[in-house]
Structure 1
Amino acid sequence: MSRAVSPQGGSSALRDRYGPAALVTGASDGIGRAFARRLAGAGLDLVLVARREAVLADLARELQDRHGIAARVLAADLSDAAQVECVVRASADLEIGLLVAAAGFGTSGPFVEGDPGTELAMIDVNCRALAQLTHTFARRFVARGRGGIVLMSSLVAFQGVARAANYAATKAYVQTLAEGLHAELRPRGIDVLASAPGPVLSGFGQRAAMRITSGATPEEVAAATLRALGRSATVRPGLLAKALELSLKPLPRSGRVHMMGRVMAGMTAR
Protein backbone atom coordinates (compact mmCIF):
# COMPACT_ATOMS: atom_id res chain seq x y z
CA MET A 1 0.00 0.00 0.00
CA SER A 2 1.38 3.41 -0.97
CA ARG A 3 1.80 5.96 1.77
CA ALA A 4 0.80 9.58 1.38
CA VAL A 5 3.36 12.29 1.89
CA SER A 6 2.81 15.06 4.40
CA PRO A 7 0.50 17.98 3.49
CA GLN A 8 3.35 20.33 2.63
CA GLY A 9 5.46 17.86 0.75
CA GLY A 10 7.28 17.40 4.08
CA SER A 11 10.82 18.35 5.07
CA SER A 12 11.68 14.66 5.10
CA ALA A 13 8.61 12.63 4.02
CA LEU A 14 9.29 12.91 0.28
CA ARG A 15 12.93 11.99 0.72
CA ASP A 16 12.07 9.14 3.08
CA ARG A 17 9.49 7.75 0.69
CA TYR A 18 11.20 8.27 -2.67
CA GLY A 19 14.68 9.75 -2.14
CA PRO A 20 17.43 10.49 -2.23
CA ALA A 21 17.09 12.16 -5.65
CA ALA A 22 14.48 13.31 -8.15
CA LEU A 23 14.63 14.05 -11.86
CA VAL A 24 12.50 16.97 -13.08
CA THR A 25 11.97 17.74 -16.76
CA GLY A 26 10.90 21.20 -17.85
CA ALA A 27 12.75 22.55 -14.82
CA SER A 28 13.80 25.87 -16.34
CA ASP A 29 10.48 27.63 -15.71
CA GLY A 30 6.81 27.32 -14.83
CA ILE A 31 5.52 24.17 -13.18
CA GLY A 32 8.79 22.27 -13.55
CA ARG A 33 10.73 25.01 -11.80
CA ALA A 34 8.15 25.10 -8.99
CA PHE A 35 8.52 21.33 -8.53
CA ALA A 36 12.30 21.64 -8.39
CA ARG A 37 12.17 24.29 -5.69
CA ARG A 38 9.68 22.35 -3.59
CA LEU A 39 11.60 19.10 -3.89
CA ALA A 40 14.86 20.81 -2.97
CA GLY A 41 13.10 22.22 0.09
CA ALA A 42 12.16 18.65 1.00
CA GLY A 43 15.83 17.67 0.90
CA LEU A 44 15.98 15.73 -2.38
CA ASP A 45 18.98 16.01 -4.65
CA LEU A 46 17.96 16.96 -8.16
CA VAL A 47 18.59 16.28 -11.82
CA LEU A 48 17.31 19.32 -13.71
CA VAL A 49 16.39 18.82 -17.36
CA ALA A 50 15.40 21.46 -19.92
CA ARG A 51 16.76 23.07 -23.07
CA ARG A 52 18.26 26.22 -21.52
CA GLU A 53 21.49 25.20 -19.79
CA ALA A 54 22.32 28.66 -18.40
CA VAL A 55 18.90 29.00 -16.77
CA LEU A 56 19.21 25.53 -15.27
CA ALA A 57 22.69 26.31 -13.95
CA ASP A 58 21.37 29.44 -12.18
CA LEU A 59 18.55 27.43 -10.63
CA ALA A 60 20.95 24.68 -9.54
CA ARG A 61 23.18 27.21 -7.77
CA GLU A 62 20.17 28.80 -6.08
CA LEU A 63 18.89 25.48 -4.76
CA GLN A 64 22.30 24.26 -3.69
CA ASP A 65 22.99 27.46 -1.76
CA ARG A 66 19.54 27.65 -0.16
CA HIS A 67 18.91 24.02 0.69
CA GLY A 68 22.32 22.33 0.67
CA ILE A 69 21.26 19.74 -1.89
CA ALA A 70 23.20 18.46 -4.90
CA ALA A 71 21.88 19.44 -8.32
CA ARG A 72 22.94 18.10 -11.72
CA VAL A 73 22.11 20.04 -14.88
CA LEU A 74 21.27 18.15 -18.08
CA ALA A 75 20.50 20.42 -21.02
CA ALA A 76 18.41 18.52 -23.56
CA ASP A 77 15.78 19.06 -26.23
CA LEU A 78 13.29 16.31 -25.49
CA SER A 79 11.84 16.44 -28.99
CA ASP A 80 15.08 14.69 -30.04
CA ALA A 81 15.06 10.98 -29.12
CA ALA A 82 18.87 10.87 -29.04
CA GLN A 83 18.96 13.66 -26.45
CA VAL A 84 16.37 11.86 -24.33
CA GLU A 85 18.65 8.83 -24.37
CA CYS A 86 21.51 11.08 -23.24
CA VAL A 87 19.42 12.08 -20.22
CA VAL A 88 18.83 8.41 -19.44
CA ARG A 89 22.55 7.60 -19.60
CA ALA A 90 23.66 10.72 -17.73
CA SER A 91 21.42 9.91 -14.76
CA ALA A 92 22.15 6.18 -14.57
CA ASP A 93 24.72 6.55 -11.76
CA LEU A 94 22.26 8.25 -9.38
CA GLU A 95 19.68 6.69 -7.10
CA ILE A 96 16.69 8.56 -8.45
CA GLY A 97 13.45 7.66 -6.74
CA LEU A 98 11.07 10.26 -8.16
CA LEU A 99 10.39 11.29 -11.76
CA VAL A 100 8.48 14.51 -12.41
CA ALA A 101 7.77 14.75 -16.13
CA ALA A 102 6.77 18.41 -16.34
CA ALA A 103 8.24 19.22 -19.75
CA GLY A 104 5.70 19.95 -22.44
CA PHE A 105 4.20 22.63 -24.63
CA GLY A 106 0.96 23.38 -26.41
CA THR A 107 -0.34 24.93 -29.59
CA SER A 108 -3.67 26.55 -30.37
CA GLY A 109 -5.77 27.51 -33.33
CA PRO A 110 -7.23 25.43 -36.18
CA PHE A 111 -5.24 22.22 -36.61
CA VAL A 112 -5.14 22.50 -40.40
CA GLU A 113 -3.52 25.94 -40.13
CA GLY A 114 -0.79 24.82 -37.73
CA ASP A 115 2.81 24.13 -38.63
CA PRO A 116 3.18 20.35 -39.06
CA GLY A 117 6.73 20.32 -37.71
CA THR A 118 5.64 22.04 -34.53
CA GLU A 119 2.66 19.75 -34.09
CA LEU A 120 4.85 16.66 -34.49
CA ALA A 121 7.49 18.07 -32.13
CA MET A 122 4.74 18.52 -29.54
CA ILE A 123 3.86 14.84 -29.83
CA ASP A 124 7.55 14.00 -29.44
CA VAL A 125 7.92 16.05 -26.25
CA ASN A 126 4.52 15.51 -24.64
CA CYS A 127 4.17 11.80 -25.49
CA ARG A 128 7.21 10.01 -26.88
CA ALA A 129 9.86 11.50 -24.59
CA LEU A 130 7.53 11.17 -21.61
CA ALA A 131 6.93 7.50 -22.43
CA GLN A 132 10.66 6.86 -22.88
CA LEU A 133 11.57 8.42 -19.55
CA THR A 134 8.64 6.86 -17.74
CA HIS A 135 9.54 3.40 -19.04
CA THR A 136 13.20 3.82 -18.04
CA PHE A 137 12.53 5.05 -14.54
CA ALA A 138 9.63 2.70 -13.89
CA ARG A 139 12.02 -0.19 -14.56
CA ARG A 140 14.57 1.32 -12.19
CA PHE A 141 11.92 1.84 -9.52
CA VAL A 142 10.66 -1.72 -9.84
CA ALA A 143 14.22 -2.95 -9.32
CA ARG A 144 14.63 -0.88 -6.14
CA GLY A 145 11.12 -1.69 -4.87
CA ARG A 146 9.87 1.87 -4.51
CA GLY A 147 9.52 5.13 -6.38
CA GLY A 148 7.17 7.84 -7.59
CA ILE A 149 6.15 9.14 -11.02
CA VAL A 150 4.32 12.42 -11.67
CA LEU A 151 2.98 12.94 -15.20
CA MET A 152 1.54 16.31 -16.18
CA SER A 153 -1.89 15.86 -17.72
CA SER A 154 -4.42 18.68 -18.17
CA LEU A 155 -8.07 19.55 -17.89
CA VAL A 156 -8.21 19.25 -21.69
CA ALA A 157 -7.21 15.56 -21.48
CA PHE A 158 -10.75 14.34 -20.80
CA GLN A 159 -12.39 15.31 -24.12
CA GLY A 160 -11.52 16.62 -27.55
CA VAL A 161 -10.96 20.38 -27.68
CA ALA A 162 -11.44 22.40 -30.85
CA ARG A 163 -8.63 24.90 -31.49
CA ALA A 164 -6.31 22.79 -29.31
CA ALA A 165 -7.07 19.40 -30.84
CA ASN A 166 -3.54 18.03 -31.04
CA TYR A 167 -2.50 19.40 -27.64
CA ALA A 168 -5.58 17.89 -25.99
CA ALA A 169 -4.82 14.58 -27.71
CA THR A 170 -1.29 14.52 -26.31
CA LYS A 171 -2.63 15.13 -22.81
CA ALA A 172 -5.25 12.40 -23.24
CA TYR A 173 -2.33 10.03 -23.87
CA VAL A 174 -0.59 11.20 -20.70
CA GLN A 175 -3.75 10.87 -18.62
CA THR A 176 -4.51 7.37 -19.86
CA LEU A 177 -0.92 6.22 -19.41
CA ALA A 178 -0.84 7.50 -15.83
CA GLU A 179 -4.13 5.85 -14.91
CA GLY A 180 -2.98 2.51 -16.26
CA LEU A 181 0.43 2.69 -14.63
CA HIS A 182 -1.11 3.74 -11.31
CA ALA A 183 -2.97 0.42 -11.20
CA GLU A 184 -0.12 -1.59 -12.69
CA LEU A 185 2.73 -0.34 -10.51
CA ARG A 186 1.07 0.36 -7.18
CA PRO A 187 1.36 -3.29 -6.04
CA ARG A 188 5.10 -3.02 -6.73
CA GLY A 189 5.59 -0.04 -4.40
CA ILE A 190 5.50 2.71 -7.01
CA ASP A 191 3.15 5.68 -6.83
CA VAL A 192 1.99 7.11 -10.18
CA LEU A 193 -0.02 10.31 -10.39
CA ALA A 194 -1.57 12.31 -13.23
CA SER A 195 -1.71 16.01 -12.41
CA ALA A 196 -4.45 17.67 -14.49
CA PRO A 197 -4.56 21.41 -13.85
CA GLY A 198 -6.70 23.90 -15.67
CA PRO A 199 -5.23 27.23 -16.80
CA VAL A 200 -1.86 27.98 -15.18
CA LEU A 201 -0.28 31.42 -14.92
CA SER A 202 3.08 30.60 -16.49
CA GLY A 203 4.95 31.00 -19.76
CA PHE A 204 2.94 28.16 -21.27
CA GLY A 205 0.13 30.40 -22.49
CA GLN A 206 2.44 32.74 -24.38
CA ARG A 207 4.14 29.89 -26.24
CA ALA A 208 0.78 28.30 -27.02
CA ALA A 209 -0.70 31.64 -28.17
CA MET A 210 -3.39 31.45 -25.48
CA ARG A 211 -4.59 34.34 -23.35
CA ILE A 212 -4.61 33.05 -19.76
CA THR A 213 -5.76 35.76 -17.38
CA SER A 214 -6.78 33.63 -14.40
CA GLY A 215 -5.75 30.27 -13.06
CA ALA A 216 -3.46 28.50 -10.63
CA THR A 217 0.15 29.50 -10.08
CA PRO A 218 2.90 26.97 -10.80
CA GLU A 219 3.62 26.86 -7.07
CA GLU A 220 0.01 25.93 -6.29
CA VAL A 221 0.10 23.17 -8.90
CA ALA A 222 3.36 21.71 -7.57
CA ALA A 223 2.20 21.82 -3.95
CA ALA A 224 -1.20 20.24 -4.62
CA THR A 225 0.35 17.57 -6.83
CA LEU A 226 2.91 16.48 -4.25
CA ARG A 227 0.21 16.39 -1.58
CA ALA A 228 -1.79 14.00 -3.77
CA LEU A 229 1.12 11.73 -4.69
CA GLY A 230 0.45 8.34 -3.11
CA ARG A 231 -3.20 9.19 -2.42
CA SER A 232 -4.91 8.90 -5.81
CA ALA A 233 -4.42 8.35 -9.53
CA THR A 234 -5.38 11.89 -10.61
CA VAL A 235 -5.33 15.31 -9.02
CA ARG A 236 -6.85 18.49 -10.42
CA PRO A 237 -4.88 21.31 -8.80
CA GLY A 238 -6.37 24.78 -8.50
CA LEU A 239 -9.83 26.12 -7.77
CA LEU A 240 -10.54 26.90 -11.42
CA ALA A 241 -9.72 23.33 -12.49
CA LYS A 242 -12.07 21.97 -9.83
CA ALA A 243 -14.84 24.39 -10.83
CA LEU A 244 -14.51 23.52 -14.51
CA GLU A 245 -14.52 19.82 -13.67
CA LEU A 246 -17.77 20.18 -11.73
CA SER A 247 -19.41 22.14 -14.54
CA LEU A 248 -18.36 19.61 -17.19
CA LYS A 249 -19.02 16.42 -15.24
CA PRO A 250 -22.82 16.24 -15.81
CA LEU A 251 -22.44 16.67 -19.58
CA PRO A 252 -22.12 13.88 -22.11
CA ARG A 253 -18.77 13.75 -23.88
CA SER A 254 -20.15 15.64 -26.89
CA GLY A 255 -21.32 18.37 -24.52
CA ARG A 256 -17.89 18.60 -22.92
CA VAL A 257 -16.30 18.88 -26.36
CA HIS A 258 -18.68 21.74 -27.19
CA MET A 259 -18.11 23.59 -23.91
CA MET A 260 -14.33 23.23 -23.95
CA GLY A 261 -14.31 24.39 -27.56
CA ARG A 262 -16.09 27.57 -26.50
CA VAL A 263 -13.63 28.09 -23.63
CA MET A 264 -10.68 27.61 -25.96
CA ALA A 265 -12.17 29.95 -28.56
CA GLY A 266 -12.28 32.66 -25.91
CA MET A 267 -8.67 32.00 -24.89
CA THR A 268 -7.35 32.04 -28.47
CA ALA A 269 -9.32 34.91 -30.00
CA ARG A 270 -6.87 37.17 -31.80
Structure 2
Amino acid sequence: MTNRSQRPLAQAERLRRAYGAHAVVTGASDGIGRAFAMRLAEAGFGLVLVARREAVLEALAAELEPRARTRPVVISADLSVPEDVARIERETAHLDVGLLVAAAGFGTSGPFVEGDLAAELNMIDVNCRALAQLTYLFGRRFAARRRGGIVLMSSLVAFQGVPRAANYAATKAFVQSLAEGLAPELRPVGVDVLASAPGPVMSGFGQRARMAIASGQTPDEVAVGTLNMLGRRTTVRPGLLAKALEASLMLLPRSARAAMLARVMAGMTKAA
Protein backbone atom coordinates (compact mmCIF):
# COMPACT_ATOMS: atom_id res chain seq x y z
CA MET A 1 0.00 0.00 0.00
CA THR A 2 1.40 3.42 -0.99
CA ASN A 3 1.07 6.23 1.53
CA ARG A 4 1.15 9.95 0.81
CA SER A 5 4.86 10.33 1.61
CA GLN A 6 5.74 7.70 -1.01
CA ARG A 7 3.73 9.20 -3.87
CA PRO A 8 6.51 11.42 -5.27
CA LEU A 9 8.71 8.33 -5.62
CA ALA A 10 6.00 6.74 -7.73
CA GLN A 11 6.08 9.89 -9.87
CA ALA A 12 9.87 9.94 -10.20
CA GLU A 13 10.15 8.19 -13.55
CA ARG A 14 7.38 10.31 -15.08
CA LEU A 15 8.94 13.55 -13.87
CA ARG A 16 12.47 12.73 -15.02
CA ARG A 17 11.23 11.48 -18.39
CA ALA A 18 9.16 14.62 -18.90
CA TYR A 19 11.65 17.24 -17.75
CA GLY A 20 15.20 15.94 -17.75
CA ALA A 21 18.08 15.64 -15.35
CA HIS A 22 18.22 18.87 -13.31
CA ALA A 23 15.81 21.13 -11.43
CA VAL A 24 16.30 24.67 -10.15
CA VAL A 25 14.54 25.41 -6.85
CA THR A 26 14.42 28.97 -5.52
CA GLY A 27 13.68 29.65 -1.88
CA ALA A 28 15.28 26.28 -1.15
CA SER A 29 16.66 27.17 2.29
CA ASP A 30 13.40 26.53 4.16
CA GLY A 31 9.64 26.01 3.97
CA ILE A 32 8.04 24.99 0.71
CA GLY A 33 11.23 25.40 -1.31
CA ARG A 34 13.11 23.04 0.97
CA ALA A 35 10.29 20.49 0.74
CA PHE A 36 10.43 20.62 -3.07
CA ALA A 37 14.19 20.13 -2.96
CA MET A 38 13.84 17.08 -0.70
CA ARG A 39 11.22 15.48 -2.90
CA LEU A 40 13.02 16.18 -6.18
CA ALA A 41 16.24 14.74 -4.76
CA GLU A 42 14.33 11.56 -3.89
CA ALA A 43 12.98 11.53 -7.45
CA GLY A 44 16.54 11.47 -8.78
CA PHE A 45 16.93 15.02 -10.03
CA GLY A 46 20.20 16.85 -9.91
CA LEU A 47 19.44 20.03 -8.00
CA VAL A 48 20.34 23.70 -8.14
CA LEU A 49 19.47 25.24 -4.77
CA VAL A 50 18.91 29.00 -4.71
CA ALA A 51 18.44 31.30 -1.72
CA ARG A 52 20.24 34.13 0.06
CA ARG A 53 21.73 32.11 2.96
CA GLU A 54 24.69 30.22 1.50
CA ALA A 55 25.58 28.39 4.72
CA VAL A 56 22.05 27.01 5.03
CA LEU A 57 22.09 25.90 1.38
CA GLU A 58 25.46 24.16 1.81
CA ALA A 59 24.10 22.25 4.80
CA LEU A 60 21.03 21.24 2.78
CA ALA A 61 23.21 20.18 -0.16
CA ALA A 62 25.23 17.92 2.14
CA GLU A 63 22.00 16.43 3.51
CA LEU A 64 20.57 15.81 0.05
CA GLU A 65 23.70 14.45 -1.61
CA PRO A 66 23.08 10.81 -0.56
CA ARG A 67 19.54 10.98 -2.00
CA ALA A 68 20.34 12.81 -5.23
CA ARG A 69 22.42 11.50 -8.11
CA THR A 70 24.99 14.27 -7.64
CA ARG A 71 25.80 16.87 -4.99
CA PRO A 72 23.39 19.79 -5.46
CA VAL A 73 24.74 23.03 -6.88
CA VAL A 74 24.41 25.96 -4.47
CA ILE A 75 23.78 29.51 -5.72
CA SER A 76 23.54 32.27 -3.13
CA ALA A 77 21.43 35.02 -4.68
CA ASP A 78 19.25 37.94 -3.63
CA LEU A 79 16.27 37.72 -5.95
CA SER A 80 15.44 41.39 -5.44
CA VAL A 81 18.62 42.15 -7.45
CA PRO A 82 18.11 41.64 -11.22
CA GLU A 83 21.78 40.78 -11.81
CA ASP A 84 21.61 38.02 -9.21
CA VAL A 85 18.60 36.56 -11.00
CA ALA A 86 20.38 36.66 -14.37
CA ARG A 87 23.40 34.99 -12.76
CA ILE A 88 21.29 31.96 -11.86
CA GLU A 89 20.59 31.29 -15.52
CA ARG A 90 24.23 31.84 -16.50
CA GLU A 91 25.63 29.60 -13.78
CA THR A 92 23.37 26.74 -14.83
CA ALA A 93 24.04 27.04 -18.57
CA HIS A 94 26.21 23.91 -18.53
CA LEU A 95 23.48 21.79 -16.92
CA ASP A 96 20.55 20.04 -18.58
CA VAL A 97 17.95 21.96 -16.55
CA GLY A 98 14.39 21.03 -17.41
CA LEU A 99 12.42 22.07 -14.34
CA LEU A 100 12.08 25.41 -12.54
CA VAL A 101 10.36 25.57 -9.15
CA ALA A 102 9.98 29.25 -8.26
CA ALA A 103 9.22 28.85 -4.56
CA ALA A 104 10.96 31.97 -3.24
CA GLY A 105 8.70 34.68 -1.88
CA PHE A 106 7.49 36.39 1.25
CA GLY A 107 4.50 38.29 2.57
CA THR A 108 3.56 41.27 4.69
CA SER A 109 0.45 41.98 6.70
CA GLY A 110 -1.46 44.89 8.17
CA PRO A 111 -2.94 48.02 6.59
CA PHE A 112 -1.00 48.80 3.42
CA VAL A 113 -0.59 52.54 4.00
CA GLU A 114 0.69 51.92 7.53
CA GLY A 115 3.38 49.49 6.40
CA ASP A 116 6.98 50.01 5.33
CA LEU A 117 7.09 51.11 1.69
CA ALA A 118 10.57 49.68 1.09
CA ALA A 119 9.43 46.25 2.31
CA GLU A 120 6.30 46.37 0.15
CA LEU A 121 8.29 47.25 -2.97
CA ASN A 122 10.90 44.62 -2.16
CA MET A 123 8.11 42.05 -1.96
CA ILE A 124 6.96 43.03 -5.45
CA ASP A 125 10.56 42.67 -6.67
CA VAL A 126 10.90 39.15 -5.25
CA ASN A 127 7.37 37.78 -5.73
CA CYS A 128 6.72 39.29 -9.17
CA ARG A 129 9.68 40.82 -11.00
CA ALA A 130 12.23 38.13 -10.12
CA LEU A 131 9.68 35.37 -10.77
CA ALA A 132 8.87 36.85 -14.18
CA GLN A 133 12.57 37.20 -15.00
CA LEU A 134 13.33 33.60 -14.06
CA THR A 135 10.27 32.34 -15.90
CA TYR A 136 11.30 34.25 -19.02
CA LEU A 137 14.93 33.06 -18.95
CA PHE A 138 14.19 29.41 -18.24
CA GLY A 139 11.00 29.40 -20.31
CA ARG A 140 13.00 30.39 -23.42
CA ARG A 141 15.57 27.75 -22.58
CA PHE A 142 12.92 25.05 -22.15
CA ALA A 143 11.10 26.09 -25.32
CA ALA A 144 14.34 25.79 -27.29
CA ARG A 145 14.86 22.24 -26.02
CA ARG A 146 11.10 21.59 -26.49
CA ARG A 147 10.75 20.07 -23.06
CA GLY A 148 10.43 21.47 -19.55
CA GLY A 149 8.30 22.31 -16.56
CA ILE A 150 7.69 25.50 -14.56
CA VAL A 151 6.08 25.60 -11.10
CA LEU A 152 4.94 29.02 -9.88
CA MET A 153 3.73 29.47 -6.30
CA SER A 154 0.32 31.11 -6.25
CA SER A 155 -1.94 31.12 -3.17
CA LEU A 156 -5.49 30.92 -1.92
CA VAL A 157 -5.35 34.72 -1.65
CA ALA A 158 -4.63 35.12 -5.38
CA PHE A 159 -8.30 34.98 -6.39
CA GLN A 160 -9.63 38.11 -4.65
CA GLY A 161 -8.41 41.21 -2.83
CA VAL A 162 -7.48 40.59 0.80
CA PRO A 163 -7.62 43.44 3.32
CA ARG A 164 -4.61 43.48 5.68
CA ALA A 165 -2.62 41.55 3.09
CA ALA A 166 -3.52 43.67 0.07
CA ASN A 167 -0.11 43.90 -1.55
CA TYR A 168 0.82 40.27 -0.87
CA ALA A 169 -2.47 39.08 -2.37
CA ALA A 170 -1.86 41.32 -5.38
CA THR A 171 1.56 39.74 -5.97
CA LYS A 172 -0.02 36.30 -5.90
CA ALA A 173 -2.75 37.40 -8.30
CA PHE A 174 0.06 38.37 -10.68
CA VAL A 175 1.62 34.91 -10.32
CA GLN A 176 -1.70 33.15 -10.88
CA SER A 177 -2.54 35.21 -13.96
CA LEU A 178 0.96 34.76 -15.40
CA ALA A 179 0.74 30.98 -15.03
CA GLU A 180 -2.73 30.81 -16.57
CA GLY A 181 -1.59 32.85 -19.56
CA LEU A 182 1.73 31.08 -20.07
CA ALA A 183 0.40 27.55 -19.86
CA PRO A 184 -1.36 27.58 -23.27
CA GLU A 185 1.49 29.61 -24.81
CA LEU A 186 4.15 27.10 -23.86
CA ARG A 187 2.22 23.84 -24.05
CA PRO A 188 2.67 23.52 -27.86
CA VAL A 189 6.46 23.58 -27.42
CA GLY A 190 6.44 20.90 -24.73
CA VAL A 191 6.68 23.10 -21.64
CA ASP A 192 4.25 22.57 -18.74
CA VAL A 193 3.33 25.49 -16.46
CA LEU A 194 1.59 24.93 -13.14
CA ALA A 195 0.31 27.41 -10.55
CA SER A 196 0.26 25.91 -7.06
CA ALA A 197 -2.27 27.67 -4.80
CA PRO A 198 -2.07 26.34 -1.23
CA GLY A 199 -3.88 27.66 1.80
CA PRO A 200 -2.08 28.57 5.05
CA VAL A 201 1.24 26.71 5.38
CA MET A 202 3.09 25.96 8.61
CA SER A 203 6.50 27.42 7.77
CA GLY A 204 8.62 30.46 8.48
CA PHE A 205 6.35 32.50 6.20
CA GLY A 206 3.94 33.44 8.98
CA GLN A 207 6.64 34.77 11.28
CA ARG A 208 8.16 37.00 8.61
CA ALA A 209 4.72 38.22 7.53
CA ARG A 210 3.72 38.82 11.18
CA MET A 211 0.80 36.43 10.87
CA ALA A 212 -0.23 34.01 13.62
CA ILE A 213 -0.93 30.83 11.65
CA ALA A 214 -2.31 28.39 14.23
CA SER A 215 -2.94 25.54 11.79
CA GLY A 216 -2.30 24.82 8.16
CA GLN A 217 -0.73 22.56 5.58
CA THR A 218 2.80 21.23 5.84
CA PRO A 219 5.36 22.30 3.22
CA ASP A 220 5.78 18.65 2.26
CA GLU A 221 2.06 18.29 1.60
CA VAL A 222 2.26 21.25 -0.76
CA ALA A 223 5.30 19.86 -2.58
CA VAL A 224 3.79 16.39 -2.94
CA GLY A 225 0.45 17.63 -4.22
CA THR A 226 2.08 20.00 -6.66
CA LEU A 227 4.55 17.53 -8.16
CA ASN A 228 1.80 14.97 -8.61
CA MET A 229 -0.19 17.42 -10.76
CA LEU A 230 2.66 18.94 -12.76
CA GLY A 231 1.92 18.35 -16.45
CA ARG A 232 -1.69 17.47 -15.69
CA ARG A 233 -3.30 20.77 -14.69
CA THR A 234 -2.73 24.51 -14.93
CA THR A 235 -3.71 25.22 -11.30
CA VAL A 236 -3.59 22.88 -8.32
CA ARG A 237 -4.85 23.40 -4.77
CA PRO A 238 -2.48 20.94 -3.07
CA GLY A 239 -3.78 19.12 -0.01
CA LEU A 240 -7.14 18.67 1.67
CA LEU A 241 -7.09 22.04 3.44
CA ALA A 242 -6.57 24.01 0.22
CA LYS A 243 -9.39 22.08 -1.47
CA ALA A 244 -11.73 22.63 1.49
CA LEU A 245 -11.01 26.36 1.55
CA GLU A 246 -11.53 26.57 -2.20
CA ALA A 247 -14.91 24.83 -1.85
CA SER A 248 -15.99 27.27 0.86
CA LEU A 249 -15.10 30.31 -1.24
CA MET A 250 -15.65 29.36 -4.89
CA LEU A 251 -19.42 30.04 -5.03
CA LEU A 252 -19.11 33.47 -3.45
CA PRO A 253 -18.67 36.68 -5.48
CA ARG A 254 -15.25 38.32 -5.21
CA SER A 255 -16.49 40.98 -2.80
CA ALA A 256 -17.86 38.34 -0.42
CA ARG A 257 -14.64 36.32 -0.63
CA ALA A 258 -12.66 39.46 0.19
CA ALA A 259 -14.91 40.20 3.17
CA MET A 260 -14.55 36.66 4.49
CA LEU A 261 -10.77 36.72 4.16
CA ALA A 262 -10.69 40.15 5.79
CA ARG A 263 -12.14 38.55 8.92
CA VAL A 264 -9.64 35.72 8.73
CA MET A 265 -6.72 38.14 8.34
CA ALA A 266 -7.97 40.29 11.22
CA GLY A 267 -7.75 37.25 13.48
CA MET A 268 -4.31 36.27 12.20
CA THR A 269 -2.79 39.74 12.56
CA LYS A 270 -4.14 40.93 15.93
CA ALA A 271 -0.62 41.03 17.35
CA ALA A 272 0.82 42.80 14.29
Q: What is the TM-score with the length of structure 1 in the denominator?
A: 0.96
Q: Report the CA distance between 1:201 and its aligned residue.
A: 0.4
In the alignment, the residues of structure 1 paired with residue 208 and residue 20 of structure 2 have an alpha-carbon distance, to the nearest angstrom, of: 33
In the alignment, the residues of structure 1 paired with residue 144 and residue 67 of structure 2 have an alpha-carbon distance, to the nearest angstrom, of: 32
Match of 1:3 in 2: none
Aligned ranges for residues 1-270 of structure 1 at < 5 Å? 7-8=7-8, 10-270=11-271
Q: Indicate the SS of the match to 2:150.
A: strand
Between 1:9-18 and 1:32-41, the stretch displaced more is 9-18
Q: Indicate the SS of the match to 1:12.
A: helix
Query: Unpaired segments of 5 or more residues in structure 1?
Result: 1-5
The amino acid that maps onto 1:30 is G
* Stretches of 4+ aligned residues off by more than 4 angstroms: none
Once the two structures are superposed, what CA deviation does each residue of 1:78-103 show, in whole Å capped at 9, x if it has no partner? Answer: 01112111112111121100000000
Once the two structures are superposed, what CA deviation does each residue of 1:29-65 show, in whole Å capped at 9, x if it has no partner? Answer: 0000000010010100011000000000011111112
In the alignment, the residues of structure 1 paired with residue 241 and residue 66 of structure 2 have an alpha-carbon distance, to the nearest angstrom, of: 35
The amino acid that maps onto 1:14 is L
Q: Report the CA distance between 1:104 and its aligned residue.
A: 0.1
In the alignment, the residues of structure 2 paired with residue 58 and residue 106 of structure 1 have an alpha-carbon distance, to the nearest angstrom, of: 25
- Report if the CA contact (8 A) 1:22-1:96 is conserved: yes
- Report if the CA contact (8 A) 1:40-1:69 is conserved: no
Once the two structures are superposed, what CA deviation does each residue of 1:160-189 show, in whole Å capped at 9, x if it has no partner? Answer: 000000000000000000011111111111
In the alignment, the residues of structure 1 paired with residue 76 and residue 267 of structure 2 have an alpha-carbon distance, to the nearest angstrom, of: 35
Q: Report the CA distance between 1:210 and its aligned residue.
A: 0.4
Q: Report the CA distance between 1:154 and its aligned residue.
A: 0.3
In the alignment, the residues of structure 2 paired with residue 186 and residue 244 of structure 1 have an alpha-carbon distance, to the nearest angstrom, of: 29
Identity of paired residues, percent? 69
In the alignment, the residues of structure 2 paired with residue 111 and residue 117 of structure 1 have an alpha-carbon distance, to the nearest angstrom, of: 12
Q: Indicate the SS of the match to 1:199.
A: coil
In the alignment, the residues of structure 1 paired with residue 149 and residue 208 of structure 2 have an alpha-carbon distance, to the nearest angstrom, of: 29
In the alignment, the residues of structure 2 paired with residue 211 and residue 187 of structure 1 have an alpha-carbon distance, to the nearest angstrom, of: 43
For the structure 1 residues 54 and 104, does the alpha-carbon distance in structure 2 shift closer, same or farther, using more than 3 Å as the test?
Answer: same
In the alignment, the residues of structure 2 paired with residue 230 and residue 38 of structure 1 have an alpha-carbon distance, to the nearest angstrom, of: 17
In the alignment, the residues of structure 2 paired with residue 184 and residue 68 of structure 1 have an alpha-carbon distance, to the nearest angstrom, of: 32
Q: What is the TM-score with the length of structure 2 in the denominator?
A: 0.95
Q: Report the CA distance between 1:7 and its aligned residue.
A: 4.7
Once the two structures are superposed, what CA deviation does each residue of 1:195-242 show, in whole Å capped at 9, x if it has no partner? Answer: 000000000000000011111100000000000101110001122211
In the alignment, the residues of structure 1 paired with residue 249 and residue 42 of structure 2 have an alpha-carbon distance, to the nearest angstrom, of: 36
- Report if the CA contact (8 A) 2:99-2:148 is conserved: yes
In the alignment, the residues of structure 2 paired with residue 46 and residue 66 of structure 1 have an alpha-carbon distance, to the nearest angstrom, of: 11
Over aligned residue pairs, what C-alpha RMSD do you find?
1.2
